[in-house]
């Protein structure tokens, strides 16, 4: 069944037409990689799905609920849509454990013991159980991003949005983050990633969406799409990234 549903979504920044009628249906358990040149609208699309950006026309639903930027709606949405950012955005004044426990305690109103148990389990999952009491600035970029993943998972989202989450990392740290994502994909969590990691998109992803000039230009099974691009634009893009 479809979890995320975009229907003819248009988005403008002033006169700039960023998204030009996006239709996209994402089913539960899918791992969708959105690729494309910078400025093609990938991140904007992702940010529309969880209400961080407003869209002007069309409709988006997540788990049957309509997405708007209305504050209360964004918060309700946060319960089913998790997001991870390029720059981690961990809270610097909280320990790793506190970062992961914050939303479960004050949004879901879990008890401290319960939230701590969840936090420890999630940190275990990303391989950072021993960093519970460390502060983010003491961690490497890759570790920080894994904490950010644990923080998002602690809210048990139905879908996890990843906005270029390995782009700010040193090359040798990319692998550890992708490994966590791969593990999550195996467990069946729905992932929507804006990414430049073509190998990940091909080997782990269940679908690739190529965006160009604010439109879904080409999409389908990763192996087919990436090895046999149909449009000139995707051919050109593949040539540039490989």
Residues near another protein, by CB under 8 A = 50, 52, 71, 74-76, 78-79, 81-83, 85, 87, 89-95, 102-103, 106-108, 133-135, 137-138, 151-152, 155
Helical H segments across 27-170, by residue range: 42-49, 71-78, 96-106, 112-125, 141-153
The nearest distance, CB 28 to another protein, in angstroms, is 20
Radius of gyration of the chain (CA): 18
Secondary structure letter of residue 137 according to DSSP: G
Sign of the CA dihedral running 14, 18, 23, 27: negative
Of 18 and 155, the one with the shorter C-beta distance to another protein is 155
* Residue count (the chain): 242
Of 108 and 198, the one with the shorter C-beta distance to another protein is 108
The nearest distance, CB 146 to another protein, in angstroms, is 15
The nearest distance, CB 103 to another protein, in angstroms, is 4
Dist. CA 210–CA 207, nearest whole Å: 10
Q: Residue 237 — φ and ψ, nearest 5°?
A: -65, -45
Of 77 and 226, the one with the shorter C-beta distance to another protein is 77
The nearest distance, CB 54 to another protein, in angstroms, is 13
The nearest distance, CB 212 to another protein, in angstroms, is 26
Dist. CA 63–CA 20, nearest whole Å: 23
Of 41 and 104, the one with the shorter C-beta distance to another protein is 104
Of 9 and 159, the one with the shorter C-beta distance to another protein is 159
- Residue 216's contacts (CB-CB under 8 Å, 6 or more residues apart) are 22, 23, 24, 209, 210
């Amino acid at each position: 069944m479809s979890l995320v549903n975009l229907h003819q979504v248009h988005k403008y920044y002033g006169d700039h037409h960023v998204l030009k009628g996006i239709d996209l249906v994402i089913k539960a358990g899918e791992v969708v990689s959105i690729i494309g040149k910078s400025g093609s609208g990938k991140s904007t699309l992702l940010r529309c799905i969880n209400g961080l950006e407003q869209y002007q026309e069309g409709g988006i639903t997540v788990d049957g609920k309509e997405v708007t930027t209305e504050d209360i709606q964004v918060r309700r949405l946060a319960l089913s849509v998790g997001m991870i950012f390029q720059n981690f955005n961990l809270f610097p004044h909280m320990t790793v454990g506190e970062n992961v426990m914050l939303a479960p305690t004050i949004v879901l109103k879990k008890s401290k013991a319960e939230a701590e148990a969840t936090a420890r389990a999630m940190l275990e999952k990303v391989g950072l159980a021993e960093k519970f009491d460390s502060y983010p600035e003491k961690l490497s970029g890759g570790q920080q991003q894994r904490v950010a993943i644990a923080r998002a998972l602690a809210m048990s989202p139905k879908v996890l949005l990843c906005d270029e989450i390995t782009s700010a990392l040193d090359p040798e740290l990319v692998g550890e983050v992708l490994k966590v994502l791969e593990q999550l994909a195996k467990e069946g969590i729905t992932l929507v990633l804006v990414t430049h990691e073509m190998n990940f998109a091909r080997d782990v992803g269940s679908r690739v969406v190529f965006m160009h000039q604010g439109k879904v230009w080409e999409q389908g099974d990763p192996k087919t799409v990436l090895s046999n691009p149909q449009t000139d634009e995707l051919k050109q893009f593949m040539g540039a990234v490989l």
